[in-house]
Structure 1
């Protein structure tokens, strides 16, 4: 099975390869893409994978991103006559996988689209032309002949509300679209080098699947009934052939850990309306960073009884405002009423507008929630223009605030109960006092730190521990730059007081602070003793922190006689 790359000039290329009997992949390689979806950074580009299955009938599974339009069409017409395509399986309607569905239908008007009921409804609004379709659900199958029997599994919220998985019994291949994928661009077709792809695989899970951990576990249960699969044909990155069991089980382990959280938040959004789904994902990511589980619910397709049960079992609620009018306004309005009826005193509530130009007003509905005794989880997020990176960061920070509010009482209780000799002994490990500052495009962040240790001479480097629920953690991925500001003994109190404040999501951490700009674009605190310009080289995950190793490219001391401020604790179970 030899993959044949077809190169172009703009760092966009197509790779084809035979991956199983009568089965070919078309991989669109996007070498330079550095941002994706809810605005998380990519270090290694990404791919968009599509598949052709040739039985007595021919099925095409997914298409590609619109930026590959001509490359993709030239490639697929070189492999098959589009007029022989019988079925186009749409795993989900996110544009990076379905962006060329309309183009394929123009070449293959006889093709029948196969997808979930939600996906078919999305496509009707997207394509604006009649097409033949089959709406499938878990357990449905489609016989292509020559042993290729496709069996379908619903997998909503992974990470799109209309996702389905497709299993080819004849080749034991599971087509998963976003699930078990990674943003990793390489002309290596399979997961041969696990150590190379593992960080991107985990990072992808954290950003896209972690906020939907409970949905992941539900999908895994349905997958278990399919039987053995020897190949995972995903939608992004290398296909899984050599480490299938290991990588699938990592999803199970991570999701089980995520779902063990004592409390959960129900996040209600409206799929394919404005930017509701993407904004809700960003909020959900922030909530999970604080150690709280999330239940994602599409208000358009959710059953009223399910909504009532989810609200009753949640400690917090996040609601994306529905449209005033439109195709699904009745369903969403009904479910909003169900949420209000089921909401309980002392639950937390957060609300956001989705830039749909037609949203129900937030304030009257928020007033009704507050009158029912709910606490404010975060200030309403009002998005009136196309969301920017700063808006997505604001959403993530709002989610962190909500998650922290739900876990604060437990943390205080733990601190009071863990006062053993061991805790006191660990507390005697002292550290310096530092402030990390970072800037990336329109985003900025800062954090007071004390767990900083030099780790290498050549190149000069150090490690810093960053709690998983810190907002700045998102700005400290591999390849990101920041500044380590070293505070001076006897002179650090004003800076420490400022950065210990609780900042509102989206607020400017540096307002009123004397700063200069480093060569890497991050703020330098003028009143600090010294500063180091740094670049993140690697990250190691611990239970509640990331250990971030960074190399130093530049630095300066403002007072040669000054001493680094030190930090001493009485116990070692909190800062």
Structure 2
């Protein structure tokens, strides 16, 4: 695939993977992107997952048509992007690996028997440039987006930002699916903790004339870039992307579920633009976490369990707080047949979260709903509007 006259795509699609990073369901696979900049000096941008080394090397050989690369630029050392560094050097032993100091430390840690000679290394610092001929590359460090060695690369000739894991998404390139949904799930799950660092990178990006974004996962972005950048700004500032209410619940015998269903019904009657109801025991946890960040208002409904909160709810809240969940409004529905503790536990789990607004109305069920619970649910729905 040709991206510009001189930039070519040499990545691969993975339809064999079941869980990305050992935890995220990827029904439409993954893309591991790599690019070649063909100039007086030839640069290859990143490698791919270990299982696809031969396919990747063939892709490179096909587009180079007998030419030899001069540089292998490593923007990110996660193995789905760096696994073939040693294999690449076996085929092209005279190239220079381009990275920063942390990159080379990680190369030593991942490849114990690879001894990179000085002539095979080009260590760059933040804002350093590399001229390939017509193309001048500027390296911009992006620490903790989402590893400490990450850097992105800007090509001033074709106005291309090679964005590392930024602007990536789940799904292979031959899968037709909505970018926002799978990019949001990818961002929240993998990068979501590091909003401040993403904001810093976006400030740098705002100073550049970017016409194309080439991420390490997902499609090359060439149109409507303000939308994608705007989404990243919302996600990384922990803003509200969509108006509506998410209700996340756990229920053992169905009584908490009945309360949730009543609340959802009341919200819809009052014209709530979107009501998302999620059974945390049965639905994909990553999807649930994504929705919790997407909407500005959330209701947590859980039974008390062993003097604590139900395990799936605890896991859900842990996913939120470890990703710096903030700037949200939260309501609580708790159920305890003899000693309600779920509300207290859930509240305590957010004690370090920033800018959390708690609804004045909460609902405390003792085994099953009574008339007071129904009245409180009506009141909660009103407060959420």
Q: One fold, TM greater than 0.5?
A: yes
Is contact 1:82-1:108 (8 Å) kept?
Answer: no
* Separation of aligned partners in 2, 1:474 and 1:154: 34
TM-score, structure 2 normalization: 0.67
2:127 maps to what in 1? 139
2:38 maps to what in 1? 54
> Are positions 1:207 and 2:207 aligned together?
no
| Partner of residue 92 from structure 2, selected from 102, 108, 130 | 108
* Separation of aligned partners in 2, 1:448 and 1:258: 29
Is contact 1:447-1:499 (8 Å) kept?
Answer: no
> Are positions 1:187 and 2:174 aligned together?
yes
| Structure 1 ranges of 4+ moved more than 4 A | 434-437, 470-474, 503-508, 564-567
2:374 maps to what in 1? 568
| Partner of residue 62 from structure 2, selected from 62, 67, 78 | 78
Does the C-alpha gap of structure 1 residues 221 and 507 become closer, same or farther in structure 2, counting only changes over 3 Å? closer
Corresponding residue SS for 2:33: strand
Shift of 1:169: 0.7
With a CA cutoff of 8 Å and minimum separation of 6, indicate the structure with the bigger relative contact order: 2
| Partner of residue 501 from structure 1, selected from 290, 308, 330 | 308
1:64 maps to what in 2? 48
1:129 maps to what in 2? 115
Corresponding residue SS for 1:19: coil
Corresponding residue SS for 2:188: helix
Cα deviation per residue 1:330-377 (whole Å; 9 max; x = unaligned)?
Answer: xxxxxxxxxxxxxxxxxxxxxxxxxxxxxxxxxxxxxxxxxxxxxxxx
Does the C-alpha gap of structure 1 residues 464 and 169 become closer, same or farther in structure 2, counting only changes over 3 Å? closer
* Separation of aligned partners in 1, 2:76 and 2:239: 24
Gaps of at least 5 residues in structure 2 are 241-246, 266-274, 289-301, 316-355, 358-367
Is contact 1:184-1:238 (8 Å) kept?
Answer: no
* Separation of aligned partners in 2, 1:210 and 1:186: 23
> Are positions 1:166 and 2:153 aligned together?
yes
Does the C-alpha gap of structure 1 residues 477 and 257 become closer, same or farther in structure 2, counting only changes over 3 Å? closer
Cα deviation per residue 1:154-173 (whole Å; 9 max; x = unaligned)?
Answer: 00111111101001111111
Cα deviation per residue 1:11-46 (whole Å; 9 max; x = unaligned)?
Answer: xxxxxx010121100121112423112612223211
Is contact 1:82-1:107 (8 Å) kept?
Answer: no
Shift of 1:119: 0.7
* Separation of aligned partners in 2, 1:497 and 1:126: 45
The aligned runs of 1:504-543 (5 Å cut-off) are: none
Does the C-alpha gap of structure 1 residues 156 and 473 become closer, same or farther in structure 2, counting only changes over 3 Å? farther
* Separation of aligned partners in 1, 2:201 and 2:282: 32
TM-score, structure 1 normalization: 0.46
* Separation of aligned partners in 1, 2:183 and 2:96: 33
What root-mean-square deviation, in Å, do the aligned CA atoms of Structure 1 and Structure 2 show? 3.7
* Separation of aligned partners in 1, 2:203 and 2:123: 22
Is contact 1:49-1:234 (8 Å) kept?
Answer: yes
* Separation of aligned partners in 1, 2:27 and 2:305: 33
Shift of 1:126: 2.6
Shift of 1:473: 6.8
Does the C-alpha gap of structure 1 residues 507 and 230 become closer, same or farther in structure 2, counting only changes over 3 Å? closer
Shift of 1:466: 4.3
Shift of 1:235: 0.6
Corresponding residue SS for 2:57: helix
Does the C-alpha gap of structure 1 residues 152 and 163 become closer, same or farther in structure 2, counting only changes over 3 Å? same
Does the C-alpha gap of structure 1 residues 476 and 221 become closer, same or farther in structure 2, counting only changes over 3 Å? closer
Corresponding residue SS for 2:3: strand
Gaps of at least 5 residues in structure 1 are 1-16, 260-430, 438-445, 456-462, 479-494, 509-542, 545-563
1:34 maps to what in 2? 18
Is contact 2:303-2:310 (8 Å) kept?
Answer: no
Is contact 1:27-1:48 (8 Å) kept?
Answer: yes
Is contact 1:448-1:499 (8 Å) kept?
Answer: no
Q: Counting helix residues as a fraction of each chain, which structure ranks higher? A: 2
The aligned runs of 1:364-513 (5 Å cut-off) are: 435-436=250-251, 448-449=256-257, 450-452=259-261, 465-466=277-278, 474-475=284-285, 477=287, 496-498=303-305, 501-502=308-309
Cα deviation per residue 1:494-520 (whole Å; 9 max; x = unaligned)?
Answer: x95548832579999xxxxxxxxxxxx
Is contact 1:158-1:216 (8 Å) kept?
Answer: yes
* Separation of aligned partners in 2, 1:199 and 1:464: 15
Corresponding residue SS for 2:90: helix
2:232 maps to what in 1? 251
Is contact 2:11-2:59 (8 Å) kept?
Answer: no
Corresponding residue SS for 1:60: strand
* Separation of aligned partners in 1, 2:282 and 2:6: 48
> Are positions 1:224 and 2:30 aligned together?
no
Shift of 1:135: 1.9
Does the C-alpha gap of structure 1 residues 472 and 221 become closer, same or farther in structure 2, counting only changes over 3 Å? farther
